[in-house]
Chain A
Amino acid sequence: MIITRTWLNNFLDISEVSDDTLYKTLNAIGLEVDSITTHTIPEKIVVGKILSCEKHPDADKLNVCQIETNIGTVRQIVCGAANVVNAEYVAVATIGAKLSEDFEIKHAKLRGVESEGMVCSSSELGLPDIGDGIIILDESIGELVVGKELNDYKKLSDTVIEIELTANRGDCLSVNGVARDLSAALNIPLKKFDYESQNQEKIGLARVAKLTTEGEINASLEYVMASMESLHTSLLFSLRLAFVNELQSDSLANILKYITHTTGVILRAYDVGHIDLNSDEKLLISAKNVNDVVHISLDDKLGAHLGIHQEEELKATEKSTQILFQASYMNPNLLVDVVSEQKLDTDELYYNTSRGSEPNLCFGISYLTYLFENYNNSKLFDGSISISREVEDKIITVSAEEICQIIGNDIPKMEIINILKSLGFSVQMTAEENFGVTIPAYRHDIENIQDITEEVVRIIGIDNIEAKALKFVEKNRTNDSMKKYYAKKELRSRAVAAGFDESMSYAFTDRVLLEKYNFPVVNEELDIINPITADFNTLRTTVIINLLQAANRNVNYSKKSTALFEVGTIFNENREEKDMLSLIYTGQKESENVSNAGKPTNINFESFVKKVSSVIGNFELRTSLQINSIIHPYQSADIIINNQTCGYLTKVHPTVSEDFDLKETFVAEIDFSALVPEHINANPISKFQGVYKDLSFVIDKNTPYSQVCLTTRALQLPLLKKFYAVDVYEDESLGDEKSLSLRLFIQSLDDTLKDEQIDDTVSAIINELERVYGAKLR
């Protein structure tokens, strides 16, 4: 909603109110000011009167004008605008006027003709564009005095205020509405608009038209009719409409828009040029309820869905000679339901009707009458025809005590009542503490005591409410979400310490990419209907694609290595959510420095596993069973924690790396729920010496260490404290076998180890590995 200072002044005397006060007050009462701009016209631009205008002898498009720029001073000015020919009063930039930093008006010679100044267009004056050519001044901006500085015309150098209205404040979708709200806050009475028709057309409207209804009409309607002579949009209207971005080419549309913007009343105009005033046949206006939509027809021709849209065919334009004007109001709550349920097309006025337009139709009609009779030589037919919906006043019973309780400060009852009255609410006092508040029709948003409290808060100003800390009863509020949050935080902190930057990416991705890399996709029937772009057309089932894309961007920023992690949500085919820790490492394994002569090697399997391990702690790796095509068939592994597969890590398949323009790249994806730390009890610690024993086996090449590990562990040898692989060796001489060396640590809790205890443990392992895998000791 945009208003201007002088426009506002039509309804509220703000001559004593500074722009700053206006800005602060609007914000304080909940009409948030988005911008406030004062248009200042440069000095030395004056009202000029064109005395004569002749074609330039040497240039078709130029005119040589004699312009009176001050009483008794006539200047010759060459002007290129076509519309100068019909102009009388214009804006003349005289010698020395500075239109911008680097544009000062000087003496000039245009194709041999002297020119002492410039005739300006609206945009050259720093005003919005109101059409081709120069700005033609008229009395709508005030009395035109030759030589007067244009900056002295306050309606030109107006202050434009853009307000961001909240959805509930349809009552402020007009200049009058904003004035009404400001009136309460500034304590300045509203100027009432009153106009009696001069009634130039003697024919009564009732003689030529009649209104019929069919079904319940939940709307107010008022009609007037006028014969049109000629219409034009005055400079003031053009400017103001341009200030509010509503200027159109049709003068009738402009006037209607102007009235609606001024009064808030919704107006439509129908061309009824076809009716014969001398005939006995009356124009039949019918309002019919069709599935709760009010259809307005003129002589059986559909003209509009009331409050929703108007049919183009009957719409009047500036060329229409006979026009039927309709003012209407509908309860916005009813309207939006109907429109949404029946999926009806709406036009630009629906924004106003759906948020609550001005219910006082007389206001709009008399403003219209005033404008047409005074400025457009139009004759209105006598009287109007109307129907009004019958609604009871909305009365809400409140108590001052409860209002104060919601606010938390004591506010005297009389102050509350005065505020409500100033906002147009009427208050019925009772003997008791409670009082009744009648809500004005234009405030359809007020429903209960909290709404009324808000009105009080608005006008008092929240800044004037004293803040008070809440007293509450302490309570243990730790819960699972909190535990999870801290587990995530801990994980993130470890990832950061391990050299990964934290990434945050969209939960969306491209279905095509997921399918290309053989990741699951959300079932078609559960997917997004209205994606924002094709790249984000589905929910992600992995974070890896996002990380690959991020890595790719970093490569483009000349990064030689990128390490990212994200703790983020993914979705499965059934759209169920799960949090994952995902990591990517691409490019150089470490920073370039003197110890690697500036040529670090690229990340490899081992270094990546180490990094992952420093983030998530202990895990086992087993041959990967993943089916996505990101994974490298020979350098990928499932991550096992507590004997459960909870994720995988892999070198990225070279064809995929190529897709993303990456060098050696490794990724890991781990189910966050497996990483939430569990309670740990400590085991007893032995006081006795332990021994290390190394065993080297020759074993089938294809037996992974993880198998050996599982088999050994299954023996549950009590003295075997830990074991790990220390060497793997493959050689042609070994054929299909490899040499695998294990290091055992053997220790007893109860006493010093005896040789036979050590031998028993060692031989148990040797025997079992031979039995299961045919492994031979080297």
Chain B
Amino acid sequence: METLENQISDANSLVELEKVRIELFGKKGALAKEFSKLKDVPGPEKKAFAEGLNKNKAALQSSFDERYETLKKEEIEKLLKAEAIDVSLYGNLDEKGAYHPVMATMDKIIDYFVALNFSIEDGPKVEDDFHNFEALNLPKNHPARDMQDTFFFKDGAVLRTHTSPVQIRTMLQQKPPIRMIAPGAVFRKDYDITHTPMFHQVEGLVVESKGEVNFANLKAIMSDFLHYMFGDVEVRFRPSFFPFTEPSSEVDISCIFCEGEGCRVCSHTGWLEVLGCGIVDSNVFDAVEYKDVSGYAFGLGVERFAMLLHKVPDLRMLFEGDTRLLEQFR
């Protein structure tokens, strides 16, 4: 019996164990031999002999099962070990792309206004004088046209200098109440370290009945929007001038680089100018023949937002498909 037990525990692999199984439990195995002796045992002892045999068989079976489990575990362990690799070699193996920070910023801006029930409107980039200037209270020769160096075409068309003509188109096509934003590319003849001949704006316009929309409303949404974009910043409103709004305001946030202490980015003022807004000038409503309405409008430069938000050092780099910059946003 002990020899049999030893045979099981000496098996060092599943293959050896299988051999042992046949030797012990097989038809011609050791146990079968013992059982065959049963017929020669005299009647009265038969029962006791059989019981003894069964007990031994059960004990051996249990030893076998236990050994089997152990060997099986070892075998799997070996198999797994054989498949071992240095997983850390495979991080970031395949390429992934990145949204352009300006486009991603535009998305973030659009998300805000769509959530506030603004529609998205679009218009052509090649515009006529009426939509780009005249209707926006920028008559010919108005000094404010100097603010916007314009690209002209030989047939008198212009590349839109702002997204504001979309306001005019929307007002002409629809009826109040209007709540719209117009995101898109605009063009000005300016090219230096802080200007590119093309950049992106998001323009907004709200028109309701006369007396409904006021400056306090504009202040509320602009403050909220800037907090949404930049988090915990201070917001400052300064009166300014735009031909198509009156009263007009420029809006600053406390400098996110120096937190208002003054640094190179904010020209040591502690403030960063981020958008312009105002109450729509009645001349603009006259140009689209809207009567008894009130409204506000705002506009911002997306590149500026993106540069501030993501601390991008160089404006022109944004237009160069420079993957040294882009890959950082993957």
Contact = CB atoms under 8 A, between A and B. Distances in A.
A484 B140 contact: no
B154 interface: yes
A142 B191 CA distance: 46
A630 to B, nearest CB: 17
Given A340-B140, A465-B215, A502-B326, A454 B119 contact: no
Given A492-B99, A564-B321, A30 B238 contact: yes
A454 B100 CA distance: 39
A507 interface: yes
Contacts of A457: 215, 239, 247
Contact of B217 (A408, A453, A493, A536): A408
Nearest to A355: B143
Given A450-B281, A507-B125, A536-B197, A501 B323 contact: yes
A554 interface: yes
Nearest to A334: B141
A508 B198 contact: yes
Nearest to B151: A528
Contact of B151 (A408, A454, A530, A593): A530
B305 interface: no
A468 interface: yes
A199 interface: no
Given A167-B241, A477-B118, A485-B120, A577 B125 contact: yes
Interface in A480-536: 481-482, 484-485, 489, 492-493, 495-508, 524-533, 536
B184 to A, nearest CB: 9
A454 B246 CA distance: 6
B97 A498 contact: yes
A108 to B, nearest CB: 36
Contacts of A405: 211, 214, 294
Contact of A496 (B98, B177, B197, B294): B98
B177 A462 contact: no
Interface string B228-240: 0000000011111
B213 interface: yes
Contacts of A530: 151-152, 189
A167 B140 CA distance: 14
A336 B142 contact: yes
Contacts of B163: none
A31 B97 CA distance: 45
A591 interface: yes
Nearest to B119: A477
Interface stretch (B15-23, B26-34, B38-46, B218-226): B218-226
A565 B97 CA distance: 9
B95 A472 contact: no
Interface in A296-340: 332, 336-337, 339-340
A559 B324 CA distance: 9
A665 to B, nearest CB: 14
A502 B99 contact: yes
A502 B97 CA distance: 7
A65 to B, nearest CB: 40
B237 A495 contact: no
A643 to B, nearest CB: 28
Contacts of B330: 501
B197 A501 contact: no
A497 B154 contact: no
A593 B102 CA distance: 31
A590 interface: yes
Contact of A28 (B92, B146, B214, B238): B238
Given A448-B282, A531-B151, A469 B179 contact: no
Contacts of B94: 499, 590-591
A450 B282 contact: yes
A501 B211 CA distance: 47
A470 B241 contact: no
A598 B133 CA distance: 57
A406 B295 CA distance: 9
A591 B144 contact: no
B187 interface: yes
Contacts of A29: 239
Contact of B143 (A354, A547, A571): A354
A554 B323 contact: yes
Contacts of B62: none
A553 interface: yes
Contacts of A168: 144, 241
A35 interface: yes
A2 to B, nearest CB: 15
B174 to A, nearest CB: 10
Contacts, number: 270
B136 interface: no
A551 to B, nearest CB: 7
A477 B170 CA distance: 13
B215 A482 contact: no
Contacts of A495: 97
Contact of B320 (A30, A478, A550): A550
Given A406-B215, A499-B94, A502-B326, A481 B321 contact: no
B220 A468 contact: yes
Interface residues of B, number: 93
B115 to A, nearest CB: 11
A110 to B, nearest CB: 39
A355 B248 CA distance: 18
B117 A167 contact: no
B153 interface: yes
Interface string B304-330: 000000000000001111111011001
A700 to B, nearest CB: 39
A562 B323 contact: yes
A406 B267 contact: no
A570 to B, nearest CB: 11
A466 B220 CA distance: 8
B110 interface: yes
B96 A496 contact: yes
A503 B250 contact: no
B157 to A, nearest CB: 8
A30 B322 contact: no
A474 interface: yes
A171 to B, nearest CB: 12
B246 A528 contact: no
B58 interface: no
A559 B157 CA distance: 41
A454 B189 contact: no
Interface in A101-156: none
Interface in B7-21: none
B107 A481 contact: no
A523 to B, nearest CB: 9
Nearest to B303: A504
Given A35-B267, A508-B198, A454 B177 contact: no
Nearest to B183: A485
B281 A408 contact: no
B322 to A, nearest CB: 7
Contacts of A28: 238-239
Given A30-B240, A462-B249, A532-B197, A496 B99 contact: yes
Given A469-B217, A472-B208, A527 B140 contact: no
A466 B100 contact: no
B208 A529 contact: no
Contacts of B282: 448, 450
10 tightest A-B CB contacts, nearest first: A550-B321, A408-B214, A408-B216, A30-B239, A166-B241, A477-B119, A454-B247, A499-B95, A462-B237, A467-B220
7 contacts: A409-B216, A462-B237, A479-B121, A481-B121, A500-B97, A502-B97, A561-B95
Interface of A: 27-30, 32-35, 166-169, 332, 336-337, 339-341, 354-355, 405-409, 448, 450-451, 453-454, 457-458, 462-463, 465-470, 472-475, 477-479, 481-482, 484-485, 489, 492-493, 495-508, 524-533, 536, 546-547, 549-551, 553-554, 557, 559, 561-566, 569, 571, 575, 577, 590-591, 593-595
Given A450-B281, A467-B216, A551-B321, 4 more contacts: A408-B214, A465-B215, A506-B319, A569-B125
